[in-house]
Amino acid sequence: MIRDDYEVVIGLEVHSELSTKTKIFCSCPTEFGGEPNTHCCPICMAMPGTLPVLNKKVVEYAIKAGLATNCTIAKNSKNDRKNYFYPDLPKSYQISQFDMPLCTNGYVEIDTANGPKKIRLVRIHIEEDAGKLNHDEYGSGSLVDLNRAGVPLIEIVSQPDLRSAEEVDLYLKKLKSILEYIEVSDCKMQQGSLRADVNVSVRKKGDEKLGTRTEMKNMNSFRSITRAIEYEVERQIEVLEAGGTIEQETLRWDEVSGKTFSMRDKEDAQDYRYFPEPDLAVINISEEMIEDIRKSLPEMPESRKERYITEFKLPEYDSNILISSKYLSDLFEGATKKCNNPKAVSNWIMTDITKILNEKEQEPNEIPFTAEQLGELVILIDKGTISSSIAKKVLDELFENPRSPEQIIKEKGWIQISDEGAIKEVVQKILEANPNSIADYKAGKDRALGYLVGQAMKETKGKANPQMLNKMFLEELNK
Amino acid sequence: MELYELTVHELIEKLDKKEITPEEIMKSYSKRIEEKEPEIAAFVTRTDKEAIESAKNVNREKSKFAGIPIGIKDNMCTKGVKTTCSSKMLENFISPYDATVIEKLNDEGIISLGKLNMDEFAMGASTEYSAFKITKNPWNLSTVPGGSSGGSAAAVASQMVPWALGSDTGGSIRQPAALCGIVGLKPTYGLVSRYGLVAFASSFDQIGPITQDVEDCAILLNLITGHDEKDSTSINTPKKDYTKSLVKDVKGLKIGVPKEFLGEGINEEVKEKVLEAIEEYKRKGAIVEECSLDIANEALAVYYIIACAEASSNLGRFDGIRYGYRTKNFENLKDIYKNSRSEGFGAEVKRRIILGTYVLSSGYYDAYYKKAQKVRTILKQEFAKLFEKYDFLITPTSPSVAYEIGTKSTNPLEMYLADLCTVSVNIAGLPGMSIPCGVDKNGMPIGMQLIGKPFDEETLIRAAYTYEQEVKFRENHKPTFRKAGA
Amino acid sequence: MKVDKEEILHIAKLACLNIKEDEIEAYRKNLQDILNFANILDNVKTEDVSETITSTSNVNVFREDEIKEFKEKELLLQNAPEKDSGMFSIPKVIQ
């Protein structure tokens, strides 16, 4: 339980891998996976004599991110070297940005229970990712894989404006959605393409001075971040209440024990010896370049939401869920464009698709089928080609082995029977077999109609058009 | 006359006339290397035997330079042949790629005779800091050839190679060229690609020609210049033909002579010869004026602070993990780092890493690194002002002639003073050229330095050519290979 | 600036170098000599001067975002002091 006489102060440094085709300083692919050390070249392996050349897209993406988060874009910017030794850092320096980042002074707005709140951003800068150390569980060694070394990152640094784990969660989800919308990062947290360093401190309510903060590095799941913050806040308050002091240090969150641990050898004071990178030219950004990038920004979530409410007449609640993820929103728009039935598409996304994603513990960006295919599915229902119960089976198929719904129902023989003669035949057959039900119906038991329709559906393996069945049974029974 | 006695433009002439073949050229040099290398010790890796083989398959139709030999300073990456930087750290290192300059030479069919000795990681001015061997000056085998491109200069002066590539961070082409009585040019920063040059100080390093005469210098400069998209600091301007500047005329050119480089600390005989050369320019119709570069002395401090800062970072990659020397003596990762670096680097490299780390470290950055970068701005402004008035400047290249091996390397600070006349050129990124202008009473060569406007190598070549054609140093003075005390 | 033994050891640690007890004084003196020499910079007034950021006059040097794979992957590991499964092998890193 977080005590209400304390205030929690949290600032975040979010690292997001940019979805460029190539690395930040060489032409190697950024694609995830691959055999160790195969997405590498002499440059990202820091072979002697090699030099970096900056990927233009990285600068554009960072500026995009800056514009989408209301930052000021620097006219003059440069890269700097951050020097430290670690086996995943082949040059022994990371090319980053120190005192002249590309973007400064932005904000992101989140919707808290107490209304909207602006989280201010200090800066956004570009830098390179490090490689990966594979730790052999049984052997005595570690192995260095440099496939990720040189993948472009932006680091988004917030002011310590966040006041709870919930706010952090809202902020991160908002940031993730913005980065997805502007298509600069795919934000796949499992692959580490979005991760955060979380700075936490507490102070007595009313205190002006910030408490000493601790930092938890490289957190890459929303759930861990929430748990870690809750644990750390409680720990800090306990220490302070017991008359102790908080030490400024880097902590490691352990998911299994649910505790934080001190990480760094304390005598190793870090001194990164930043200095301007002499191997790169300075960056000058013109008004035209900023305007060009601004024009290329896609429609942002708020504007989409407005459109869903006014143009498609969707409820605000539904619209909010749809825009929470760019992938859902794109799916919705693409499918609606195909079938022209926004309400139906929205219902499919909000209910069945969401349910399946939850069961599979998947993110919207992992939906395997296209918006076009979802649109086709809705058309098939609207045309009466399939029933909604068949449609659910088609949706399952789309998740398992995505292909055209038309093809699926053909393959599976799921086409709805809407032929009057055929339906009449079934109705006659069922009525002949169930004289008791006819009697019940005539005695005023309406339930009997449902039973008969059910029997007919069973007979046709769900393929009969339910509306037609209903209508025809009624005609027969009321004769 | 032996083929190895010729300059490259003379070799090309004979090749064109089909009087000689590339194979004969290589054999002549291989024989010369066999003969002189034991006393000069200029090579880290010899490839003269392979060169003879390659020369058999040269296509003279493709390029008029096909089948011309060259020597390469051992800090330029060559695929398949070791690149050691004369360091134990890279003793067995084979680069997976060719430096851009090497690619350019390969494209012309130019053939390497080997990789040449240097001060370890180009840090030094005598080549005594090589981890492998001490190269001797062909004019007096008990003296140093200068450095850090001492192997390149000694190999050219002793005609084991007709020309060579050197690199220059604070004088490393010009000073050994001066001490060995030959021609050396450090191009304007950005004129020659640094891709594949193992970095010492990224903002000063440039590759340049070390040649027997000015004409060869212009030819080699033509071959190695050109924009390279692999080097962000490479200038993207149309390529020039520097042989067009081989003109015997300095009439009306304005020469500035900064008095700071002809005062204290400069050997009297050096001063005298440089002043004589200046008189020669006057006779040829140039206008000479004394001028002043106010912060010439401060430049040396600026140089060491910035160069060592960059070096401390550039040399971080030598950690015993992906390539290079790995200590045998380790239990954990920290040991690998510390012991590999401590055992793999020589003392001078470590001294410079310590200095560079210090000036970048928290609390000292502003006082040293930032201050030096400010003074650098002032120095550039001072040069710019001088070049409003003058077409080029003349100074001595080195404060003294070659000194005896082992006499200075014990005092690093004194050693650094050898760079006094050359470092400001690197700090301001200007072109600088050294040409021989006489010998002292012991017959040791003296060089003078011509400093030009950015990307105006043409004026330097024209001025150097005019002087060379008039004075004919090369015809009047030859290395003696004697073993006397200096 | 006065350099003491502790300072040298701190700097050596940052630079990942071992300095033996009997070498410390030589490194200290060398650094002290050069720093003393560098005091000459105090004579230069730099209040209104901005520092040089880069040697090159080039601005906005960018590469297009196009994949060019380095083909000879085996050459990238040929110099490795120790390797295993296509990776560089090092003693266990304790996290």
Per-residue pLDDT tens for B452-462? 999 999 999 99
Beta bridge partners of A162: A10
Cβ–Cβ below 8 Å for B313 and A47 = no
Q: Which residues contact C71 (CB under 8 A, 6 or more apart)?
A: none
Which of these is catalytic: B152, B172, B234, B434?
A: B172
Q: Hey, what are B289's tokens?
A: 């004026």
How far is residue A191's CA from residue A171's CA, in Å, rounded to a whole number?
20
Burial profile B386-422: b = 16 or more Cβ within 10 angstroms, e = fewer:
bbeebbbbbbbbbbbbbbebeebbeebeebbbbbbbb
| Model pLDDT for residues A75-88, shown as the tens digit of each residue | 999 999 999 999 99
Q: Which residue of B has its CA nearest to C14?
A: B357
Q: Which residue of A has its CA nearest to B101?
A: A49
Residue with token string 């040829």: B284
Cβ–Cβ below 8 Å for C69 and A29 = yes
pLDDT band with cut points at 50, 70 and 90 for residue B443: very high
Helical (H) or strand (E) element with A14: strand A6-17
How far is residue A454's CA from residue A415's CA, in Å, rounded to a whole number?
18
pLDDT band with cut points at 50, 70 and 90 for residue A479: confident
| Model pLDDT for residues A461-475, shown as the tens digit of each residue | 878 888 888 888 888
For C:76-95, CB contacts with B below 8 A are 76, 78-82, 88, 90-93
Mean pLDDT value across residues A30-43: 95
| Cα dihedral C10, C16, C21, C27 sign | negative
CB-based burial label for B373 (10 Å; 0-12, 13-18, 19+): buried
Decide which of A406 and B25 is more confident. Answer: B25
How far is residue A123's CA from residue A310's CA, in Å, rounded to a whole number?
35
Question: Å from C14 to nearest chain A CA?
Answer: 8
Q: Hey, what are B367's tokens?
A: 């006082």
pLDDT at A47: 98
Q: Which residues contact C6 (CB under 8 A, 6 or more apart)?
A: none
CA-based nearest residue to A102, from A79, A118, A130, A119: A79
Question: Which chain C residues have a beta carbon less than 8 Å from that of A282?
Answer: 53-54, 59-60
pLDDT at B228: 98
CA-based nearest residue to B419, from B148, B166, B156, B186: B148
Q: Is the pLDDT of residue B150 over 70?
A: yes
Model's pTM, two decimal places? 0.90
pLDDT band with cut points at 50, 70 and 90 for residue B409: low
Q: Is the pLDDT of residue B313 over 60?
A: yes
Q: Hey, what are A147's tokens?
A: 């496939």
pLDDT at A297: 94
In contact, B119 and B126? CB cutoff 8 Å: yes
Q: Which of B74, B120, B195 should we substitute to test contact with A (largest number of A Cβ atoms within 10 Å)? A: B195
In contact, B447 and B322? CB cutoff 8 Å: no
Question: Å from C81 to nearest chain A CA?
Answer: 13
CA-based nearest residue to B30, from B12, B15, B50: B50
| Model pLDDT for residues A239-251, shown as the tens digit of each residue | 999 999 999 889 9
Query: Is B398 a residue of the active site?
Result: no
Q: Which residues of C touch A (CB under 8 A)?
A: 14, 16, 53-56, 58-70, 73, 76-77, 84-93, 95
Phi, psi of B137 (to 5 degrees): -80, 125
Tell me what percent of the residues of chain B surpass a pLDDT of 90.
94
pLDDT band with cut points at 50, 70 and 90 for residue A460: confident
Lowest mean pLDDT among A135-139, A194-198, A381-385, B138-142: A135-139
Mean pLDDT value across residues A265-279: 82
Cβ–Cβ below 8 Å for A54 and C62 = yes
Q: Which of A132, A250, A282, A283 should we substitute to test contact with C (largest number of C Cβ atoms within 10 Å)? A: A282
State the distance between the two ends of chain A, measured CA to CA, in whole angstroms.
69
3-state secondary structure A202-241: EEECCCCCCCCCEEEEEECCHHHHHHHHHHHHHHHHHHHH
Mean pLDDT value across residues B406-416: 75
Question: Å from C85 to nearest chain B CA?
Answer: 14
CA-based nearest residue to A150, from A46, A15, A281: A46
Tell me what percent of the residues of chain A surpass a pLDDT of 90.
65
Query: Is B172 a residue of the active site?
Result: yes
Q: Hey, what are A395's tokens?
A: 């949706």
Question: In this structure, how many other beta carbons lie within 10 angstroms of the beta carbon of residue C93?
Answer: 17
Q: Which residue of B has its CA nearest to A270?
A: B362
pLDDT at B253: 98
Asked if B304 reaches chain C (Cβ–Cβ under 8 Å), the answer is yes
State the distance between the two ends of chain C, measured CA to CA, in whole angstroms.
37
Asked if C64 reaches chain B (Cβ–Cβ under 8 Å), the answer is no
Cβ–Cβ below 8 Å for B83 and A281 = no
Cβ–Cβ below 8 Å for C89 and A85 = no
Cis peptide before B148 (omega within 30 of 0): yes
DSSP letter at A32 equals S
How far is residue A462's CA from residue A239's CA, in Å, rounded to a whole number?
65
Q: How many Cβ pairs closer than 8 A exist between chain A and B?
A: 101
| Model pLDDT for residues B234-243, shown as the tens digit of each residue | 999 999 999 9
Cβ–Cβ below 8 Å for C88 and A87 = yes
Burial profile A264-285: b = 16 or more Cβ within 10 angstroms, e = fewer:
eeeeeeebbbbbbbbbbbbbeb
Query: Is B282 a residue of the active site?
Result: no
Q: Which residues contact A317 (CB under 8 A, 6 or more apart)?
A: none
How far is residue A323's CA from residue B30's CA, in Å, rounded to a whole number?
75
Question: Which chain C residues have a beta carbon less than 8 Å from that of A28?
Answer: 67, 69-70
Q: Is the pLDDT of residue B323 over 80?
A: yes
In contact, B177 and B201? CB cutoff 8 Å: no
How far is residue A43's CA from residue A40's CA, in Å, rounded to a whole number?
8
Lowest mean pLDDT among B168-172, B234-238, B481-485: B481-485
Q: How many Cβ pairs closer than 8 A exist between chain B and C?
A: 162
Mean pLDDT value across residues A412-435: 85
Cα three-residue angle A161-A167-A173, rounded to 5 degrees:
110
For B:189-218, CB contacts with C below 8 A are 189-190, 203-204
Strand order in the sheet with A93-96: A93-96, A80-83, A275-276
Cα three-residue angle C68-C70-C76, rounded to 5 degrees:
155
How far is residue A331's CA from residue A303's CA, in Å, rounded to a whole number?
16
Q: Which residue of C has its CA nearest to A141?
A: C92
Mean pLDDT value across residues A104-122: 94
| Model pLDDT for residues A345-357, shown as the tens digit of each residue | 999 999 999 999 9
Q: Which residues contact A295 (CB under 8 A, 6 or more apart)?
A: none
Q: Which of C70, C74, C85, C95 should we substitute to test contact with A (largest number of A Cβ atoms within 10 Å)? A: C70
Among A85, A252, A282, select the one facing C54 at the smallest CB separation. A282
How far is residue B147's CA from residue B125's CA, in Å, rounded to a whole number?
4
Using CB atoms, list chains with 3+ pairs below 8 Å to chain A. Answer: B, C
Among A51, A92, A274, select the one facing B230 at the smallest CB separation. A51
Domains of chain B are: 3-247+459-476 (3.90.1300.10)
Question: Which chain B residues have a beta carbon less than 8 Å from that of A142?
Answer: 333
Beta bridge partners of A215: A199, A250
| Model pLDDT for residues A135-175, shown as the tens digit of each residue | 876 677 899 999 999 999 999 999 999 999 999 999 999 99
Using CB atoms, list chains with 3+ pairs below 8 Å to chain B. Answer: A, C
| Model pLDDT for residues A293-314, shown as the tens digit of each residue | 999 999 888 889 999 999 999 9
pLDDT at A137: 66
pLDDT at C71: 95
User: Domain spanning C5-43 has what CATH number?
Assistant: 1.10.20
Q: Hey, what are B465's tokens?
A: 């050519």
Dihedral of the alpha carbons of B448, B453, B458, B460, in degrees to the nearest 10: -10
pLDDT band with cut points at 50, 70 and 90 for residue B256: very high
**Mean pLDDT rounded to a whole number for chain B:** 96
Domain boundaries, chain C: 5-43
How far is residue B222's CA from residue A212's CA, in Å, rounded to a whole number?
61
Q: How far is CA A126 from CA A140, A150, A247, A344, in A?
A: 35, 11, 30, 42
**Helix/strand/coil for A440:** helix
Q: Is the pLDDT of residue B271 over 90?
A: yes
Which of these is catalytic: B28, B30, B73, B312?
A: B73
Asked if A97 reaches chain C (Cβ–Cβ under 8 Å), the answer is no
**Helix/strand/coil for C14:** helix
Cβ–Cβ below 8 Å for B203 and A278 = yes
Using CB atoms, list chains with 3+ pairs below 8 Å to chain C. Answer: A, B
pLDDT band with cut points at 50, 70 and 90 for residue B27: very high
Cβ–Cβ below 8 Å for B96 and C78 = yes
pLDDT at A422: 84
pLDDT at A268: 58
Long-range contacts of B277-281 (CB under 8 A, 24+ apart): B277/B394, B277/B437, B277/B438, B277/B448, B277/B467, B277/B471, B278/B394, B280/B467, B280/B470, B280/B471, B281/B250, B281/B253, B281/B255, B281/B394, B281/B463, B281/B466, B281/B467
Mean pLDDT value across residues A389-404: 92
Q: Is the pLDDT of residue A189 over 90?
A: no
pLDDT at B486: 44
Q: Which residue of A has its CA nearest to C83?
A: A143
Query: Hey, what amino acid is at A259?
Result: K
Domains of chain A are: 6-288 (no CATH), 299-412 (no CATH), 420-477 (1.10.10.410)
Q: Which residues contact A311 (CB under 8 A, 6 or more apart)?
A: none
Question: In this structure, how many other beta carbons lie within 10 angstroms of the beta carbon of residue A149?
Answer: 28
How far is residue B468's CA from residue B472's CA, in Å, rounded to a whole number?
5
Residue with token string 């001492």: B150
Among C16, C66, C93, select the one facing A133 at the smallest CB separation. C93
pLDDT at B485: 56
